[in-house]
Structures are given as structure tokens and as C-alpha cells.
Amino acid sequence: MDMIGVLDLQGDVVEHIDHLERLGVNAVRVKEPSDFAHLTGLIIPGGESTCLARLLSILGIRDPILRQFQRGLKLWGTCAGAILLAKEIVGEPPVLALIDIEIQRNAFGSQLDSFVSEALVPLVAPQPIPLTFIRAPKITRAGTDVAVLLRQDDYIVAAESPDVLVTVFHPELTPSLAFHRYFALKCGLKPSVNEESSMIDPTWDSRSWTRYTRL
């Protein structure tokens, strides 16, 4: 059974699982090397990038990600996840270095500088998509094999290579299913929501993920 995994070490794990299940996509938590079986894609969620990088090494997850990526696993990093996937991190050594971008941590400032906005991303959805930025990084450079999906001012907030998607915002913290649908398609899966439908789920609210705390 093909499914998408969500790296379950720290950060927005259940929020991503909630969005995938709303699309009818099989989702699984990934905590150890054996959890990579049958994955066609892996989401590295937002959280704290330094903490996630240490846990990747301590728990022996870094090498399995690299091995599975060489075998065709698609990857999506949101916020901290995008930092881990970047080939270059300003002032720091890279972690996974799987997409040719340069990224700057906490580029907008402190937690108090978090904000929400909205933008049209034509390759992802025909309607504007809500964007939530929380202590977000900025992508300051993209390589020649990297397509920019969304640019704001002098920085990039969403980009992709054939096998890697990165967003510096948090689609899992909004009612929009657009980016999760886009990644599922990138993984070769068939989500239940089509492009002609509204990808704003009216049944979602900021506490929808809490149902997973009872599992």
C-alpha cells in the first residue's frame, strides 16, 4: 500500500496527518527506520530545526532518509523541514542537503513577528491559498534545477525540484488542502479532491488535529 509518512520526532505531525486523511491519502507516522516500508513520500514537518537535526542523528533516521531518497522517495519540508533539506543554510552546515537552495533561519524575527497572508500559486491551485508563517526562514537562492513556486518581495517561500518540495510556511495550520494535494500528486498518488473543487475544507478548524490525541 502506497502511503505518505510524516516524520514524527518533533513539530507539526498530527496536523499534516489530518490534512492527508482529508484527501483520502494513507498517512503514517515515521519514528524509526522500519517505518519507511511502503512509503512513496515523506513530510518533514515544521518544528525546531536544530532539535530535529539532532534527533535525526541520535535516532538513526538520517541515513534511511538518504537511502530511500536515492530509491525514489519524494520529500516535502515545511518551515524547519525546509531548513533540513536545504543544500546551504546561512551560517550553519547543511543537514540533508537534498535540494539546491540557500535558506536563512528565523529570517523574519522572533515568534512575535509571525504572520498570515494569502497568495495565488498557479501550479498548486486555481484559488488563492492562505499562508501561515511562524518564525519562518527565507529561501534566498534557488539553483538552476529548482523551480520557484512562490516568491514574495526579494525572497522565495515555496520551491521544488523533481523529488523535493519546500515551503517556509505551514499549510497544515490552515483549512487549505492545496499543498498536501500537490505533494500527493508529486508522489504519484490520487487524492480525493480534484483541481476543480475548492481545496478549502469547511469542516477544518484550528483544533481539528486534537482528535488524534485520543488515539
Domain layout of the chain by residue ranges: 3-214
Nearest-10 crossing angle of helices 13-22, 178-186: 80
> Of the candidates 177, 149, 175, which has an alpha carbon nearest to the alpha carbon of residue 164?
149
Q: What local confidence, expressed as pLDDT, does residue 112 receive?
A: 47
Q: What local confidence, expressed as pLDDT, does residue 163 receive?
A: 98
Fold of 3-214: Rossmann fold (3.40.50)
Percent of the chain with pLDDT over 70: 91
Summarize pLDDT for 111-153 with one digit per residue, the tens: 545 778 899 999 999 999 999 988 889 999 999 999 999 999 8
Q: What local confidence, expressed as pLDDT, does residue 96 receive?
A: 97
> Would you give the distance in Å from CA 138 to the centre of its chain?
14
pTM: 0.92
Summarize pLDDT for 32-82 with one digit per residue, the tens: 999 998 899 999 998 888 899 999 999 999 999 999 999 999 999 999 999
The verdict on whether 196 is a catalytic residue reads no
Which one of the listed residues 15, 79, 160, 187 is annotated catalytic? 79
The verdict on whether 187 is a catalytic residue reads no
* Amino acid type, 126: P
List, in order, residues 6 or more apart from 39 with CB less than 8 Å away. 2, 3, 4, 5, 28, 30, 68, 73
Q: What is the mean pLDDT of residues 87-111?
A: 88
Which one of the listed residues 15, 19, 172, 187 is annotated catalytic? 172
The verdict on whether 170 is a catalytic residue reads yes
